[in-house]
Structure 1
Amino acid sequence: MGQGHQKDSLPGDLLHKDSIHIIENLLIQQQDLLKADSALRVQLEAELKKGAGNQSKTRDLQSQLARILSNDSMKRLGQLQQIQALKKYAEGHPVVLNEDTLFLLYTKMGSFGAAERAAAISGRISKLYRDYSFKADSLNLLSTGNGFDITYKNDLTIMSVSQLDALWFGFSADSLASAYRKTIATEILKQKKENNLYNWLRRIGWMALILVSLSVFIFLINRLYRRSVHVIRANRERLAHGLTFRKYRLVTPEKLEHFLIRASSVARFIIIVLAAYIALLLVSGIFTATEKWTATLLGWILTPARSVLHSIVHFLPNLFTIIVIYFIFRYVIKGIHYLSGEVGKGHMQISGFHPEWAQPTFNIIKFLLYAFMAVLIFPYLPGSASPAFKGVSVFLGVLVSLGSSSAINNIVAGLVITYMRPFHVGDRVQIGDVTGDVIEKTMLVIRIRTIKNEDVTVPNSAVLSTSSINFSSCTKPTDTGLILHSTVTIGYDTPWKKFTMLSLRLPKGRK
């Protein structure tokens, strides 16, 4: 009957609600078993002495005694395993003095449960604490046959320690009672010393000093803030150019001045809040009743700070891996960029590959390499394995897919147009109803300037889905040239002789 088997065989509600009752019954059974074993061993040992001359009877009695001892040992072992398994679900009830826990009670006594016992004992100990003539030597132990009583001057019974209490902790009743007596005496004396008039006055003095120091610190911080605002406004001429980057103005002087004043105000607020928080920590640590607040207040800061620091330390190996991956791809892209530049300038020739393909091909390869780099880096990012991170990634992917379908169509069409080479920048073309010169080609659109100097933007998908005419493709000296034609209308009132003479004057092949 092992521990795991016991845990599985008992229902969950029984484990949580009735575990203490079950343990008490098991402890009582174990105590009764020990008493019965002791009586049986005494009887068998007496019979062994009587039948010392009869060897056969002696062997039978010895075998019977060994069998009884073995069975009892197995029973006690099984009960101990049950008890240890059930103790994990047992709830102890604290005996307290001024909100400080002295010890926990788990077992009942008579009709009083553990909670009632703990409350009654706490009240009696508080009564002793309020007794100005308290003496620790007046706490005594009195045997009751079934345990021990802790009394004060043999008049007031503070608490009773039963055999059941002792069996719960695996101690003898007198050892457990002595430990409780020592704890009660020590805590009463300690708290009396901590809460005397001198210590109270000293704590109040420390509290006043902390509050005065906090007030002075806040006054100095406010004064420093006003001084910083004055300095910022007095040096407006130094902010005349604002915030610039490579001759580009990023922030105007007025915005920069407002930002600096706002940043000073935020810094002042953060410093004051931290100072007040530290003062609250110091004040709560001064008084005994609020000492437990100190650990709570510190936990609010230290727990997140520890968690962040722990995450940073554990992220360092992944960070170095990300840096190595980034630099590898960076220099690979630099090498490909150099090759594409040589091909674009004509210094390096590849059969069947036109120089104008070099830059768009490099852009495609660069995009694919960066995408592959992101795929390699993603598992090393903090929180990448969490369901929330994955859910947000899928959500953003769906949004991008739904919102960028037309943009992706234009990009794909731009790639096709680039490698089809139907026209170049500067060519005069006709796309649909638009006729003009191509002034710009991008991955998304083509811009055409018409004869009337109108700039028309045509999406690449529209270019690919309709026919286009290039008027400049055959205008080089080595080409056949562009044949221009026009329609001439002659009125009915024109003499036929003039029309005949005009036809005779036209060159051959142009009629």
Structure 2
Amino acid sequence: LLQLGKRYILHPDSVYCESSDIVTDVVYENKVIASFTDQDALWENSTRDELAAKNREVIVQELHKLHNEYGLLQLGKRILYFILVVAIQGAFIWGTRLFYKRLKVRVGKLKETKLKPIFISTYELFDTQKQLSILFFLLKILQGILILLQLLISVPILFSIFPQTEDLAYRIFSYIWNPIKELFIGIVEYIPNLFTIVIIWYAVKYAMKGIKYLVGEIESEKLKINGFYPDWAQPTYQIIRFLLYAFMIVMIYPLLPKSENGVFQGVSVFIGLIVSLGSSSVIGNVMAGLVITYMRPFKIGDRIKLNDTIGNVIEKTPFVTRIKTPKNEIVTIPNSFIMSSHTVNYSSSARNYGLILHTDVSFSFEVHRETAHRILIKAALDTPDVLPDPAPFVLGISFQDSGFTYQINVYIKDADKINRIYSDLHHNIQELANKEGVEMVVQHYIATRDGEETAIPEAYQKKK
């Protein structure tokens, strides 16, 4: 029946019954549509011919219905509908493109009126031309989305016009609608988890604000906690922030969509493995940085000595510490190396006790001890930035082949001036020794003496 009904040319009333000795057939153009036997008539409590005639009427009615649906007239109507839908879709696409062109012109005018460069501090992130390019790109995407939505609606309609492609139309529509329906249902079902995630996020956010306020009070020394130094505040805050964010991720992870999916879990494990294998030295430096922070061996600006490197600490990061030497050399040292080395902090000693600088000076044996002490003490007191209290002091160090070695010790408060203080102290000692007519001696210094001349400048030699 369906095959007959789909014919464009069909005469349903031409269906007739044809009887033989054993069956009665319902026939159309020598094609048997149905056959009835005496047994069939017995079940219906009728004769074979009556049953065939009754069913013929039903078949003719059904063929009339199919002919009305699949006939030439309906085919013409469907072709017209098809052309109409294509024309309407073409008009929509043309209108969308026209709308895009006009909107692009209006957006282009914004460059001279509304658009201004976007800055982050002093860095120009987006100038007006870049902003205009981004807006044009977004308009292009919007145009594509609108045309795609139109096609997603019109293509299934076109396929549904013809019965032969109606099933394909429903299938295409299901390809579009089912993902949208599942997405919508998934979003609705995910709303409770989303609310939970938002609550966790805001709880952590405001907890961080409270902790940050306390950190600021500790750093400014408005809030003092016994045994907790102000320079610990910021590192401690970073640690607490990391732990809170880690806790937040642990709480949110089971609430994420597809978090129970094996692929999602496998990717998470793989990323964790890569991070753990590739960051052992990094983690070591970070842990060393934390230990250094709480050990407080130095702080920013301190003059320190690290093995053979002397300079001022200019930067401390979780990974490295940078030192600027007196010769303006920037030395970068991994924190793990600092942990395994010894550090001398000159600035800390100078601030708390007064740093002692010392230098050795040798005089010949004929120079009296009191004269040597007087020269060294006066030279020390005349040196800028040397503290008069505690007073400089002199120690006798050792006998040499050509004289006796003294050590002058001075107190200073500014460790950044060590090199200049040493230089000034040495100049003052030499100057005063020359003025006193006293000869300083140096190991391995060889000179021939006649008992009259001394190795000091002539300007300082006493005239006889």
TM-score normalised per structure 2:
0.70
If asked which structure has higher relative contact order (CA below 8 Å, sep 6+), I would say 2
More strand per residue: 1 or 2? Answer: 2
Native 8 Å contact 1:149 1:158 kept in 2 = no
1:470 aligns with 2:345: yes
CA 1:199–1:154 in structure 2 vs 1: closer, same or farther (change >3 Å)?
A: closer
In the TM superposition, what is the alpha-carbon distance from 1:198 to its structure 2 partner?
A: 2.4
CA 1:457–1:372 in structure 2 vs 1: closer, same or farther (change >3 Å)?
A: same
Native 8 Å contact 2:305 2:311 kept in 1 = yes
Task: Name the SS of the counterpart of 1:383 in structure 2.
Answer: coil
Q: Choose which of 91, 94, 97 in structure 1 pairs with 2:2.
A: 97
Q: Choose which of 227, 230, 246 in structure 1 pairs with 2:102.
A: 227
Rg larger in structure: 2
Native 8 Å contact 1:142 1:151 kept in 2 = no
Q: Choose which of 357, 364, 378 in structure 2 pairs with 1:484.
A: 357
Q: Choose which of 52, 56, 72 in structure 2 pairs with 1:197.
A: 72
- Give 1:135's aligned residue: 13
Specify the code of the residue in structure 1 equivalent to 2:353. Answer: T
1:256 aligns with 2:131: yes
The Cα offsets for residues 8-29 of structure 1, whole Å up to 9 and x where unpaired, read as: xxxxxxxxxxxxxxxxxxxxxx
- Give 1:279's aligned residue: 154
- Give 2:209's aligned residue: 334
1:375 aligns with 2:250: yes
CA 1:389–1:484 in structure 2 vs 1: closer, same or farther (change >3 Å)?
A: same
The Cα offsets for residues 133-166 of structure 1, whole Å up to 9 and x where unpaired, read as: 323974799996xxx8762379753345899x9x
Native 8 Å contact 2:314 2:323 kept in 1 = yes
CA 1:416–1:142 in structure 2 vs 1: closer, same or farther (change >3 Å)?
A: farther
Native 8 Å contact 1:474 1:482 kept in 2 = yes
CA 1:252–1:138 in structure 2 vs 1: closer, same or farther (change >3 Å)?
A: same
Specify the code of the residue in structure 2 equivalent to 1:509. Answer: V
Native 8 Å contact 2:17 2:24 kept in 1 = no
* Distance (whole Å) between structure 1 residues aligned to residue 55 and residue 188 of structure 2: 45
- Give 1:311's aligned residue: 186
CA 1:500–1:206 in structure 2 vs 1: closer, same or farther (change >3 Å)?
A: same
Native 8 Å contact 1:427 1:470 kept in 2 = yes
1:424 aligns with 2:309: no
Unaligned runs of 5+ in 2: 378-392, 396-405, 407-464
CA 1:504–1:242 in structure 2 vs 1: closer, same or farther (change >3 Å)?
A: closer
The Cα offsets for residues 202-228 of structure 1, whole Å up to 9 and x where unpaired, read as: 222222222222222222222222223
Q: Choose which of 391, 394, 398 in structure 2 pairs with 1:509.
A: 394
Native 8 Å contact 2:9 2:72 kept in 1 = no
Task: Name the SS of the counterpart of 1:472 in structure 2.
Answer: helix
* Distance (whole Å) between structure 1 residues aligned to residue 179 and residue 25 of structure 2: 46
- Give 1:112's aligned residue: none
Task: Name the SS of the counterpart of 1:385 in structure 2.
Answer: coil
Native 8 Å contact 1:427 1:471 kept in 2 = yes
* Distance (whole Å) between structure 2 residues aligned to residue 426 and residue 182 of structure 1: 108
CA 1:269–1:328 in structure 2 vs 1: closer, same or farther (change >3 Å)?
A: closer
- Structure 1 residues 392-471: aligned runs within 5 Å: 392-471=267-346
* Distance (whole Å) between structure 2 residues aligned to residue 212 and residue 481 of structure 1: 94
TM-score normalised per structure 1:
0.64
Task: Name the SS of the counterpart of 1:350 in structure 2.
Answer: coil
CA 1:180–1:265 in structure 2 vs 1: closer, same or farther (change >3 Å)?
A: farther
* Distance (whole Å) between structure 2 residues aligned to residue 394 and residue 212 of structure 1: 54
In the TM superposition, what is the alpha-carbon distance from 1:174 to its structure 2 partner?
A: 9.1
The Cα offsets for residues 171-195 of structure 1, whole Å up to 9 and x where unpaired, read as: x7999x9999898656533221112
